[in-house]
């Protein structure tokens, strides 16, 4: 990827070329989407850029090219950060760029699930408006930006089975676990490309100001995953004799709670996310299947 000069406009500017970009960038040239990307250090011919939410200095934005669409992959939090990054960029490049923010699905909490039908939450469900990420997301949406709230990210070096011992360490922690949602990095990239293409189209931008849940259309039961992963010995994890007795814990919990088989029924899993709207409205669907 050649580093563009600020005078070379692009279709997509990626602010923060991290894990997501390893899946996204390979899709762009075949789709005839010109792009530039930033990292904090400027490695691999990216543009050096670091967002300082307390700074009003415009110099960092002078290094960036004018873009039709700007993707923010790093977290924006609280009041003011979304307006600041958009405002500083526009002070150099003028208005006109459309914005995409990668957000989080944790803004839909158990309270949201209780308010929804059957414990389900979708884009129209109540969410925690005091959440710092939600505040920044709403601010960007007020500026016409699109927010993609991502569920558990996996793919490449992100292997969920290796997270088990970080997530649950005791039987009581397993007991408390309900459901979890995932999305593969390749499908995140396809979602970003679909939004980028819609925002770059001429005519009305029906997608502007929208928030979408991005998940792979599955609900995963933590007990089921714990049983599946807990008995396996991985080269990068402890030996089997050193691991917690995950399979035993899940089996005991099933007896104690009357669960006859896994996965548990959806009504037992607490808050669940309905991610159909994005895929149906944008006309693309996840291609990575389900988490193995």
CATH number at residue 129: 3.40.50.720
Residue 259 falls within a domain, yes or no?
no
Residue 118 falls within a domain, yes or no?
yes
Q: What integer pLDDT is reported at residue 112 of this predicted model? A: 61
Residue 142 falls within a domain, yes or no?
yes
Q: What integer pLDDT is reported at residue 243 of this predicted model? A: 85
Residue 167 falls within a domain, yes or no?
no
Helix (H, G, I), strand (E, B) or coil at 262: coil
Q: Which residues, 6+ apart, have CB-to-CB distance to 191 below 8 Å?
A: 148, 212, 214, 278, 282, 284
Residue 80 falls within a domain, yes or no?
yes
Question: What total of structural domains would you count in the chain?
Answer: 1
64-115 pLDDT, tens digit per residue, is 999 999 999 999 999 999 999 999 999 999 999 999 999 999 999 877 656 5
Residue 211 falls within a domain, yes or no?
yes
Residue 145 falls within a domain, yes or no?
yes
Q: What integer pLDDT is reported at residue 2 of this predicted model? A: 46
Q: What integer pLDDT is reported at residue 204 of this predicted model? A: 67
Read off the pTM.
Answer: 0.93
Helix (H, G, I), strand (E, B) or coil at 123: coil
> For the chain, which residues score pLDDT lower than 70?
1-7, 112-116, 203-204, 232-241
Residue 201 falls within a domain, yes or no?
yes
Instruction: Note whether 182 and 216 are within 8 A (CB).
Output: yes
* Structural domain containing residue 80: 10-158+181-219+271-282
Q: Which residues, 6+ apart, have CB-to-CB distance to 126 below 8 Å?
A: 111, 112, 115, 116
Q: What integer pLDDT is reported at residue 234 of this predicted model? A: 55
**Closest-CA residue to 19 (of 2, 39, 4, 3):** 39
* Cα–Cα distance, 114 to 104 (Å, whole number): 19
DSSP bridge pairs for 102: 148
């Amino acid at each position: 990827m050649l580093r563009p000069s600020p005078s070379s406009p692009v279709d997509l500017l990626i602010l923060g070329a991290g894990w997501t970009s390893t899946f996204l960038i390979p899709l762009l040239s075949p789709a005839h989407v010109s792009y530039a990307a930033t990292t904090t250090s400027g490695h691999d011919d990216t543009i050096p850029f670091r967002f300082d939410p307390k700074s009003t200095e415009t110099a960092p934005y002078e290094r960036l090219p004018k873009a039709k669409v700007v993707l923010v992959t790093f977290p924006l939090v609280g009041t003011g950060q979304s307006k600041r990054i958009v405002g500083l960029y526009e002070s150099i490049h003028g208005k006109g760029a459309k914005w995409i923010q990668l957000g989080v699905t944790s803004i839909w909490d158990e309270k949201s699930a209780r308010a929804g039908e059957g414990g389900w939450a979708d884009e129209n469900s109540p969410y925690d408006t005091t959440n710092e990420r939600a505040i920044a997301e709403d601010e960007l949406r007020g500026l016409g930006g699109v927010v993609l709230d991502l569920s558990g990210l996996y793919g490449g070096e992100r292997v969920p089975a290796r997270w088990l011992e970080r997530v649950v360490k005791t039987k009581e922690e397993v007991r408390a676990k309900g459901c979890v949602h995932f999305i593969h990095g390749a499908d995140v990239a396809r979602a970003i490309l679909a939004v980028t293409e819609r925002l770059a189209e001429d005519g009305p931008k029906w997608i502007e100001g929208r928030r979408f849940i991005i998940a792979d259309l599955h609900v995963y039961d933590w007990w089921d995953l714990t049983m599946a992963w807990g008995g396996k010995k991985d080269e990068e994890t402890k030996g089997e004799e050193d691991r917690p007795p995950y399979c035993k814990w899940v089996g005991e919990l099933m007896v104690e709670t009357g669960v006859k088989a896994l996965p548990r029924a959806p009504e037992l899993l607490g808050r669940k996310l309905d991610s159909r709207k994005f895929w149906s409205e944008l006309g693309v669907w996840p291609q990575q299947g389900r988490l193995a």
